[in-house]
Structures are given as structure tokens and as C-alpha cells.
């Protein structure tokens, strides 16, 4: 028996460590995934103006800020009893989907691909592993060329999103009430010019490169399968009454079920918190306890019906019916492509529905009191914000992020988190170069900045107004 | 006499300036990304990687592929580097030791400090966890230049906002007086890619730029946004979403020194006020205020 520690896991957002135990055949028998950065967003939001949360929560994650802004704005709008108009919904969709495209392309080419391809022989692409690189020199060179081309495409996707969002990362104008952009016909034309170029890259280059990877590494359709339980909160409303492009739902044993927020609980037996375990997000409490015996992470363990679920592109396209080939490392990459292509197509439709000069913003003022939930999907999966307002200030704020689901530790029943489960059973050919483990972890596109962001003041009992974390 | 390429470039710039010659600035910016060059080590603390993502968006002075392939030797940045785990941390150690007194240390994010320093662990060396605070205190004094990229590293920013239960501090708060050269602050949330990349090239080619009392290059931070805002003389807007000046709605451009009017964002396609919302002062010391927009 031996162990492998990888700390840091690089090529992701945030701070992540993985430790696995191997048997005498170098097969993983146990895995611990640890989030090693802890922030404090929920407490910071208390006593602030509700609309400011859309700006502050974007700073949880520089890779998926738009989804946080939208979740926050939706939560405050619910508290105020307001629904944005169609122009607002479509403009938000266009900014959020620009962010999705930038994120999915960044993930495939710049975060994941170097697990299969040798980069230029200089920093930051060296040092690296030499284990199991299968591409011919010609294919390798072609993929490196596309890595470079993709740098420009993901940048342009951010520029496209900024046309309506003001700037990226961290948009300037998605707030409760809608979005303050007031597009001209020139803005719409500029957006379409970007979209056409990006869509061409997606259908011609991204698709071919994902298929090339799948052809060379077909065995990865059988690696990193995990629980095969999938969850999505739904995203990209297409009308004022909802009708999301990617619907909410869950998948277990290949059966699709309706999603019910009430089935979520969070467990902390293996997390650095001394607060009670098994609480519903809305009523949970959190007391940090770094170094707690047996615990190994700042992430909590959210569970749905007490079972671990995987979130992300694969969950979305499975539930929407766009991709149901399987659940594995390679299926996650294919699913991200399918989603990206579908988004680009639908963006053309949404763009056609934008009315130049029409307002997408209603000045809501500040609700005096109320509470609301804002559910959406970040590129990495299910995202929820819950806000309570009292005396026109935030009295409670809670967030559940995608990587909470995927990179969670074991729950109180001992069920490992989804990434941990996906690692178990994997054979490591060379324990000095555990490339198989990196490939599995990267296929989930973890984002730990998102996943750990809450705490209570040390030694202070959480009052009913202090937020609790879900954050995990 | 043998002179390095960098010495030659510096001499060329000085000579050209003396002769009032126009230089091909892109050529002058090309500072041998060769492995022998003084490298950049980029560490991320309590932040969101938004400054790294923003840096990938650079177009001026050049695009990121050209930066990484031809201009800057990026020895460590956990978001983009290939190596992981011990291999990565060893690369960090090797670069810092080999280029001691020569490398540029870029810090992204604030730093959980003191008894809270275990709230940010950046990796392990020989089985021992390295806190972000420990890394800053170790590598900061070894660097030739220390650059705080973004508002979190410059002033504490969002992670240090009240009640700051994580003990987050700025680079300067922890490292002041311990560095070879003055710390350079490049605030904004995120850092503007042109400001960051051009400052790194300026440091390599010409040394420390002129800094203001907040350690910001005067080149980018000498003016309030409001003082050159294209909407300064427009009528007051009745609400966000309407065209006009937002000063009476608490636009923080009145108090925020930054470059946004000139640089805009994302290759110049837009910026916050142009998108019809008041500036939230994201480059200001004290960001994020409560409320973000403070009407006078």
C-alpha cells in the first residue's frame, strides 16, 4: 500500500489537493479531495444593500462571474416579487453564454489538454510528465497550434460578452431589475461578428479536436465514471415564464427525475467545521474548526436524497437529451463540446430577438423585506443563491456552488464525493507521474474558489441572522 | 565587452530617447522569453483567479500567446502551468533560487495572515504545507520586483472586506520594508491586462515606474475616472440604464483613480459607465464600500 499526494492540483481555479491510497497493484482504493482556501462571502454580505450582492458574489469566481451575478439578481428579484422582461432575459442569456463558451474552451484547451499533449518546451508548459502521451508529433503539433488559436477565441468570447455586460471578468451591469445595457443595432452587429467567428471555431476546430482526443484515448470512456448520478438546477430561460434551454432535473440509474430543492442536505463529518451535520441549506449553521480530527477539507458534502450527485455540462446535456452516451472522463469532454455548440446556435436565435434601444432594466428600488432563491447553472454546474432582506438590508445570504457537489468529501455515511468516487478503482501506471488521476480530476473542471467561501466568527455562536454556509 | 540582450535593449531605449527616435515598441518589448531570462513567478492567494483570466484577455501591447512564447518566462502560475503537485512546487523553488534577486513576483489575491494563515494553502514541499502568507514572506524578499495584481493584492479588496474573518491583508501590509524595490500596486477588479503586462515589460526594460502615494504607477492612476469621463458634461441620468452622468447616483468614478476612460475593457469594446451603470470604484483603496455606490 502506498499513497500519492498532489498538492497543488494546477490548471483549475482555486486551491485543491488530492491524496489517494494505492493497493499493491497500484489501483486507487481510497481518495481524499481537499479544498485548501477558505473565504467568507456570506458574512461579508450581511447588512449590505441587496443589489450590491450581484457585484460582490461575482468575485467568488473569475472564471464564472456572470452566473453568480445572475443567481444573485434572481434571488433579490424573487424577494421583491419582480420578473425581468424578455429583453433582459435574452441579454443576460447572451452574456452568460459568452462566459460559458469562454470557460468551456479555456477548460478543454488550456486546463485539460496538457494532460494528453506536450506543450512548447518552455515555461509554463515545462516541467511536465512524460507518461502516456499518445499523439504523433504531427497531431501533437496541430493540437498545440489550436491551443494557441483557442487563446484568442476564448478572449474574443469575453469581448463578445462585454458588449452587453460592460466588462469581463466581473460584469458591470447585471443587477436586480434586469441588465442596464441598451444595445444599438451596431452593438448587435458587432456581437454577431464575434459570434460567427467563434461558432466557426467551435464547429470546425473544437469538435474535431475533441473527437481526436476521444479516438486516441477511447479507454477513457471507461475511466472516472463515479456514481453516474447527475443534477442540474436548469439554465437559460427562453421566455418570461421560464422554459430553460437546459432544464432542471436529476439522473440516477439512467432515470430522469424532477429536481426538488427540499431534498438537499449538507454534511460536515469530514469537513473542518464543528457545526451540526445533515442540515438543509436554508437552516444550516457553520463553525470553522481547522484541523478537526478526521476532517480533511474546507468543502462540505452536499447530498441530494442523501446521495452524492455530479454537476456540470454532462448533467445539463443528459437531462436536455442532447447527449446520453455515458458518464466518464471522455464523456465529460464530449458533453462540454455538445453544450458549447448548442449554445452558439441558440445565441444566434436570442440575438435575433433583441430589440435595439429597448430597455432591459426596471429600477426596483430596494425591497424592505422578503426572501428569495436564485437558481441557475454556472459552467461547472448547479448554482444557487438564497437571500433574506430585513430593513432593506441583507440579513442572510447563502450560496451553493457546483464544485461543492463535485469536489465534496465523504458524507457522514462514508460515501465519498463524486470526484473521490471517480478516482477509486483507477490503475496508476507510474505512481511518480499519476497522469490518470489528473485526467479524471480535470474532467470535472473543478473550481474551488467557488466552493469554499463561508465561515462564522471564531468562537461566536451563529445567530439566526448569520449566514450559513452552504458554501462548501 | 560582452553585453546581454537586455542590457543592449536598455541601452537602445536610452539612446533612442536621447536622440528622440521613434522605436518599434513591440520589438523593444520582446524581452527574450528564453529560459535564461529573469522569470515571472505568479502566486494566487485569497482571490478568484479573475486577474489571471483578465491577463489572458490582453491585446495591447500584444496578445497572451506572444507574451508567454516570446516576452515573459512564466515559471509559476497555478491556473495555466502544466506541472502539478511536487513537480510544480519544486519548479517554484528552483526558479526562486536560481533567479534570486532577479525574478518578478506577481501576487494575485489577498493573503490570510497570522492565526488565519492556514485558510490559504498553496501546496506542499517535502510533505509540509506552504501557506500563502509563508510563500509571500519567503519569496517576496528574494524577488527583484513585487507586483500586486488587482485590488485584493493591492489593498485587500473583497476578501478583506468587513468583517474580514479570514484575516486577509494586502501585499504591502505584510511585505513593506522587506523588498528590494518598492512594491508596485496595480489595482482594479480584475487587474487590467494592458496595465499588468506593460508594467511587467517596463520593469524588465526600464525598472520601477514613477509611483504615487498608493504605490501605483502614475502612468495609469493619476486621474479620477470622473475627471475625463465622456459623460462628465452630460445631464444627470434619472436612473441606471439611462444615458447620462451618474455622479448624483453615487458613481465612484468621482473618487476612483484609474485608467478605464483611456483603456476601456476587453480590447476596448466597453467599460462600466458605457454599459449604463455607475462605477463601483473597484480600483479604489477601501473597495468594496458599503454601499458600493455612495450618493452625495
**Shared-domain flag, residues B136 and B249:** no
Strands (E), B77-231: 104-108, 111-112, 121-125, 128-131, 145-149, 168-169, 184-186
B114 lies within 8 A of chain A by CB: no
Cell numbers given for A291: 484541523
Structural domain including B261 reads 223-296
Average pLDDT, chain B: 91
Q: Do A162 and B33 touch (CB under 8 A)?
A: no
Q: Do A170 and B189 touch (CB under 8 A)?
A: yes
**Shared-domain flag, residues B31 and B146:** yes
Of A124, A127, A171, the CB nearest to B77: A124
Q: Do A10 and B81 touch (CB under 8 A)?
A: yes
ipTM rounded to 2 decimals? 0.94
For residue B19, give the 3-state DSSP assignment.
coil
Strand partners, A385: A374, A399
B18 pLDDT tier (thresholds 50, 70, 90): low
Q: What is the mean pLDDT of each run of 10 residues along chain A (472 residues)?
A: 93 91 96 86 91 97 96 96 97 98 98 97 94 97 98 98 98 98 98 98 98 98 97 97 97 95 93 88 72 91 96 98 98 98 98 97 92 95 93 91 92 97 97 96 83 33 24 28
B70 lies within 8 A of chain A by CB: no
Name the CATH superfamily for A2-451: Cytochrome-c3 Hydrogenase, chain B (1.10.645.10)
Summarize the confidence of residues B26-47 as an average pLDDT.
72
Q: A300 Cβ partners below 8 Å, 6+ apart?
A: A266, A267, A268, A271, A273, A404, A408, A409, A469, A470, A471, A472
A126 lies within 8 A of chain B by CB: yes
Summarize the confidence of residues B133-138 as an average pLDDT.
98
Q: Do A10 and B79 touch (CB under 8 A)?
A: yes
What does the pLDDT read at residue A356? 98
Summarize the confidence of residues B64-68 as an average pLDDT.
96
* C-alpha to C-alpha distance for A3 and A19, rounded to whole angstroms: 7
**Shared-domain flag, residues B124 and B29:** yes
pLDDT at B21 over 60: no
Domain final position from B219, B252, B267: B219
Number of independent structural domains in chain B: 2
**Shared-domain flag, residues B113 and B252:** no
What is the chain A residue with the closest CA to B81? A124
Cell numbers given for A95: 452574456
* C-alpha to C-alpha distance for A182 and A171, rounded to whole angstroms: 15
What does the pLDDT read at residue A458? 30
* C-alpha to C-alpha distance for A301 and A34, rounded to whole angstroms: 12
Q: Which residues of B does the annotation mark as catalytic?
A: 48, 51, 152, 189, 226, 229, 245, 251, 260, 272, 279, 282
For residue A393, give the 3-state DSSP assignment.
strand
**Shared-domain flag, residues B144 and B230:** no
What does the pLDDT read at residue A342? 98
CATH of the domain at B257: 4.10.480.10
Which residues in chain A are closer than 8 Å to B52, comparing Cβ atoms? 62
**Shared-domain flag, residues B9 and B119:** yes
- Nearest to A147, CA basis, from A117, A102, A126: A117
Which residues in chain A are closer than 8 Å to B288, comparing Cβ atoms? 52, 55-56
Radius of gyration of chain B (CA): 20
CATH of the domain at B28: 3.40.50.700
Domain final position from B167, B193, B219: B219
**Shared-domain flag, residues B103 and B69:** yes
Strands (E), chain B: 40-44, 74-76, 104-108, 111-112, 121-125, 128-131, 145-149, 168-169, 184-186
Domain final position from B157, B191, B219: B219
**pLDDT tens-digit profile of B156-211?**
999 999 999 899 999 999 999 999 999 999 999 999 999 999 999 999 999 999 99
What does the pLDDT read at residue A336? 98
Summarize the confidence of residues B253-267 as an average pLDDT.
97
What does the pLDDT read at residue A466? 23
**pLDDT tens-digit profile of B138-155?**
999 999 999 999 999 999
B160 lies within 8 A of chain A by CB: no
* C-alpha to C-alpha distance for A368 and A389, rounded to whole angstroms: 7
What does the pLDDT read at residue B9? 52
C-alpha distance from A222 to closest chain B C-alpha (Å)? 24
What does the pLDDT read at residue B29? 53
What does the pLDDT read at residue A288? 74
Amino acid at each position: 500500500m502506498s499513497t500519492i499526494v498532489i498538492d497543488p492540483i494546477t490548471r483549475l481555479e482555486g486551491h485543491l489537493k488530492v491524496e489517494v491510497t494505492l493497493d499493491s497493484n497500484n489501483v486507487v482504493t481510497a481518495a481524499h479531495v481537499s479544498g485548501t482556501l477558505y473565504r467568507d462571502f456570506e458574512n461579508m454580505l450581511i447588512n449590505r444593500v441587496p443589489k450590491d450582492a450581484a457585484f460582490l458574489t461575482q468575485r467568488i469566481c473569475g472564471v464564472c462571474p456572470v452566473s453568480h451575478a445572475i443567481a444573485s439578481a434572481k434571488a433579490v428579484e424573487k424577494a421583491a416579487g419582480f420578473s425581468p422582461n424578455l429583453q433582459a432575459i435574452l441579454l443576460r442569456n447572451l452574456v452568460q453564454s459568452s462566459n460559458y463558451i469562454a470557460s468551456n474552451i479555456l477548460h478543454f484547451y488550456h486546463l485539460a489538454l496538457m494532460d494528453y499533449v506536450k506543450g512548447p518546451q518552455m515555461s509554463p508548459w515545462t516541467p511536465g510528465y512524460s507518461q502516456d502521451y499518445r499523439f504523433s508529433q504531427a497531431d501533437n503539433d496541430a493540437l498545440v497550434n489550436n491551443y494557441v488559436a483557442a487563446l484568442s477565441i476564448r478572449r474574443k468570447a469575453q469581448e463578445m460578452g462585454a458588449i452587453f455586460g460592460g466588462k469581463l471578468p466581473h460584469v458591470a451591469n447585471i443587477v436586480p431589475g434586469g441588465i442596464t445595457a441598451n444595445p444599438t443595432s451596431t452593438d448587435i452587429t458587432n456581437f454577431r461578428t464575434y459570434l460567427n467567428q467563434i461558432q466557426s471555431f467551435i464547429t470546425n476546430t473544437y469538435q474535431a479536436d475533441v473527437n481526436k482526443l476521444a479516438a486516441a484515448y477511447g479507454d477513457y470512456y471507461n475511466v472516472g465514471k463515479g456514481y453516474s448520478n447527475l443534477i442540474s438546477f436548469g439554465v437559460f430561460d427562453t421566455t418570461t415564464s421560464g422554459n430553460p434551454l437546459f432544464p432542471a432535473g436529476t439522473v440516477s440509474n439512467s432515470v430522469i427525475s424532477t429536481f426538488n430543492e427540499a431534498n438537499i442536505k449538507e454534511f460536515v463529518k469530514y469537513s473542518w467545521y464543528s457545526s451540526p451535520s445533515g442540515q438543509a441549506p436554508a437552516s444550516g449553521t457553520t463553525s470553522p474548526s481547522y484541523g478537526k480530527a478526521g476532517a480533511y477539507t474546507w468543502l462540505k458534502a452536499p447530498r441530494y436524497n442523501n446521495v452524492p450527485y455530479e454537476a456540470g455540462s454532462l448533467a445539463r446535456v443528459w437531462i436536455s437529451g442532447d447527449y446520453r452516451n455515458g458518464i466518464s472522463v471522455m464523456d465529460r469532454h464530449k458533453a462540454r463540446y455538445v453544450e458549447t455548440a448548442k449554445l452558439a446556435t441558440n445565441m444566434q436565435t436570442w440575438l435575433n430577438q433583441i430589440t435595439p434601444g429597448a430597455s432591459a432594466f426596471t429600477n426596483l428600488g430596494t425591497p424592505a423585506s422578503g426572501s428569495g432563491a436564485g437558481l441557475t447553472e454556472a459552467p461547472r454546474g448547479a448554482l444557487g443563491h438564497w437571500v433574506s432582506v430585513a430593513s432593506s438590508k441583507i440579513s442572510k445570504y447563502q450560496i451553493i456552488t457546483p464544485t461543492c457537489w463535485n469536489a465534496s468529501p465523504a458524507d457522514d455515511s462514508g460515501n465519498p464525493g463524486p470526484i473521490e468516487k471517480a478516482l477509486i478503482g483507477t490503475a496508476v501506471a507510474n505512481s511518480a507521474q499519476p497522469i490518470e488521476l489528473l485526467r479524471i480530476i480535470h474532467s470535472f473542471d473543478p473550481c474551488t474558489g467557488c466552493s469554499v467561501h463561508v465561515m462564522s466568527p471564531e468562537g461566536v455562536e451563529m445567530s439566526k441572522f448569520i449566514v450559513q454556509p452552504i458554501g462548501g | 565587452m560582452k553585453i546581454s540582450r537586455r542590457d543592449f535593449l536598455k541601452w537602445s531605449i536610452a539612446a533612442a530617447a536621447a536622440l528622440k527616435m521613434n522605436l518599434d515598441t513591440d520589438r523593444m518589448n520582446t524581452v527574450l522569453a528564453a529560459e535564461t531570462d529573469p522569470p515571472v513567478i505568479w502566486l494566487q492567494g485569497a482571490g478568484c483567479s479573475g486577474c489571471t483570466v483578465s491577463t489572458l484577455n490582453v491585446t495591447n501591447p500584444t496578445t497572451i500567446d506572444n507574451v508567454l512564447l516570446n516576452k515573459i518566462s512564466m515559471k509559476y502560475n497555478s491556473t495555466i502551468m502544466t506541472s502539478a503537485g511536487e513537480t510544480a512546487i519544486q519548479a517554484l523553488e528552483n526558479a526562486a533560487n536560481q533567479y534570486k534577486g532577479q525574478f518578478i513576483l506577481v501576487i494575485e489575491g489577498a493573503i490570510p495572515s497570522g492565526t488565519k494563515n492556514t485558510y490559504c494553502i498553496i501546496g506542499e514541499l517535502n510533505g509540509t504545507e506552504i501557506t500563502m502568507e509563508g510563500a509571500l514572506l519567503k519569496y517576496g524578499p528574494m524577488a527583484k520586483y513585487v507586483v500586486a495584481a488587482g485590488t485584493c493584492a493591492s489593498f485587500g479588496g473583497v476578501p478583506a472586506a468587513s468583517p474580514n474573518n479570514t484575516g486577509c491583508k494586502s501585499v504591502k501590509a505584510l511585505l513593506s520594508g522587506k523588498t528590494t524595490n518598492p512594491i508596485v500596486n496595480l489595482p482594479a477588479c480584475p487587474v487590467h491586462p494592458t496595465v499588468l503586462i506593460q508594467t511587467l515589460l517596463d520593469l524588465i526594460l526600464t525598472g520601477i515606474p514613477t509611483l504615487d502615494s498608493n504605490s501605483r504607477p502614475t502612468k495609469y492612476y493619476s486621474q479620477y475616472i470622473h475627471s475625463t469621463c465622456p459623460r462628465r458634461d452630460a445631464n444627470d441620468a434619472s436612473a441606471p440604464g439611462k444615458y447620462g452622468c451618474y455622479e448624483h447616483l453615487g458613481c465612484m468614478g468621482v473618487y476612483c483613480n484609474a485608467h478605464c476612460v483611456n483603456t476601456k475593457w476587453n480590447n476596448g469594446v466597453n467599460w462600466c459607465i458605457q454599459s449604463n451603470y455607475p462605477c463601483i470604484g473597484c480600483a479604489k483603496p477601501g473597495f468594496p464600500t458599503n454601499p458600493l455606490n455612495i450618493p452625495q
